[in-house]
Amino acid sequence: MSAQSVHESSFESSITPEAPTTTPASPEADKARGLRCTRYDQMAKAASAGLMTHPHVESAIVGISGGASDLVFHLNCTITAKSNPSDLMETVSNGVISNIERMLGVSFAARRLHFNRSLYAD
């Protein structure tokens, strides 16, 4: 093999980065937000685990996002091929979500529920 020359290149920009428009949060606020996020993650994992015990659920992934004033409940759930999703949807809406709202002390601003049917027969 013969050696090939490598060309160096550089890039200079005349665009100056803009200063952030938000002020940094205090350490106490950062800590409170971290604790809140941890609590949301724990609630979401518990809800996923609980839904996975349902006989018609093949998989359930729950997430909670947003701040206290704009919380969003996310569910991506795969149900068994022959099951009727209406009972499970009612359980999620009237049981799982309402219990999490009660434990968190705040209502969800939005609920994003996605139910998929398994491609595999029971």
Query: What percent of the chain has pLDDT above 70?
Result: 70
> Which residue range forms the structural domain that includes residue 54?
27-117
Is position 58 within any domain? yes
For 40-61, write each residue's pLDDT tens digit. Answer: 999 999 999 999 999 999 999 9
Is position 66 within any domain? yes
Q: Quote the pLDDT of residue 97.
A: 95
Q: Is the pLDDT of residue 81 over 80?
A: yes
Is position 78 within any domain? yes
Is position 10 within any domain? no
The set of long-range contacts for 49-56, using a CB threshold of 8 Å and a minimum separation of 24, is 50/96, 51/75, 51/77, 51/92, 51/96, 54/88, 54/91, 55/80, 56/80, 56/83, 56/84, 56/85, 56/87, 56/88
Q: What mean pLDDT, rounded, does the chain reach?
A: 80
Is position 11 within any domain? no
Domains identified in the chain, total number: 1
Q: What is the CATH number of the domain that holds 79?
A: 3.30.300.30
Binned at pLDDT 50, 70 and 90, residue 120 comes out as confident
